[in-house]
A = this chain, B = another copy of it.
Amino acid sequence: MINFASDNVTGASPEVLQAVIDANSAPPRMPYGNDASTGDVEARLSEVFETEVKAFLVATGTAANVLALGSLAPPWGAIYCHEHAHIQTSECGAPEFFTGGAKLVPLSGADSKLTPDGLHAAIDRSGSVHHVEPAVLSLTQATEGGTVYSPQEVRALAEVASEAGLKVHMDGARFANAVAALGCSPAELTWKAGVDVLSFGGTKNGCLGAEAIVFFRPELAANAARQRKRGGHLLSKMRLLTAQFEGYLAEGAWLRRAAHANAMAQRLAAGLKEVDRVDLLFPVESNLLFPRFPKGVAQRLNEAGFLFYPENLDGASRLVTAWSTTEEEVDRFIAAVKAMTENS
């Protein structure tokens, strides 16, 4: 069985698992992050982002997103996002819950990407008490369609947001894949381009379950510690969560693993492009692909042990490569597609 259903079907990468094992064998440590290592991770993230950040670790990507949004949007706020955004489609209303009822405003845009013009047109400037108050722009990087925003594109969106008084949140569940794809620095893609808060994903790219909420403007984090606790997201054995991020960041593992996943996606895309009657819904820029197969083929591939979500978006299937995907897996999949489409 070869599993392209998601990058969270994998386990933890060796370096992350080893860091947890090492931390676990250390003597007792004070709980809830009152240990030296947890402070160290914040310092380490400040190095990675070339600026002093406030960082809060949690175990799930939804928690990271919604605690970030809860720090930015009041209950009577509007959060502008793409209609494909994970926070809009796949978090069961968690953003509404953690903001106390803010309203998500889904916008369309090609390739799962927001446009400055689309955002500008959508922002309510009436100031009316009958309308929710424009509060946040949330963009996903890499996007749910597997595309990426360039630093210039992020900046252009952030400028529209900033002019209207919005804060800017980046859902970076696959931030590593975006950085690896673009070859820019983490700083260029975030605070230098106008991002206020980043959900920095670890889970999909090698952690057991670890995400960092990274605040580039410390004043926005004033209530984040209490909001995390109140959300039930402050782990008592925090140092085991911390250890994951230590292992993830050490020696550039996070970027190396993401680059591999991206490369496997490119290999997959290259193979699929050679197949007649298969096309790709979006440009392949990170580790997600949305191929459209001839009728019946997706189902037969599933039945043959190639796992992925068929009919995921506009008639296209979704395939995801991961840090653990091998060239052999990719090649076997391509071969299967070729065989099936020739016979379909």
Contact = CB atoms under 8 A, between A and B. Distances in A.
Contact of A240 (B12, B75, B94): B12
Interface in A217-258: 223, 225-237, 240-241
Main secondary structure on A side of the interface with B:
loop
B232 A60 contact: yes
A304 interface: no
A177 interface: no
B130 A92 contact: yes
A96 interface: yes
Contact of A76 (B9, B17, B130, B230): B230
Interface stretch (A22-30, A43-51, A148-156, A284-292): A22-30
Tell me how many chains of this kind the complex includes: 4
Please indicate which of the listed interface residues A30, A209, A225 has the most CB atoms of chain B within 10 Å of its own CB.
Answer: A209
Contacts of A92: 76, 129-132, 226, 229-230
Interface stretch (A98-106, A157-165, A261-269): A98-106
Interface string A41-59: 0000000000000000011
Given A208-B240, A240-B209, A229 B74 contact: no
Contacts of A104: 103
A24 B6 CA distance: 16
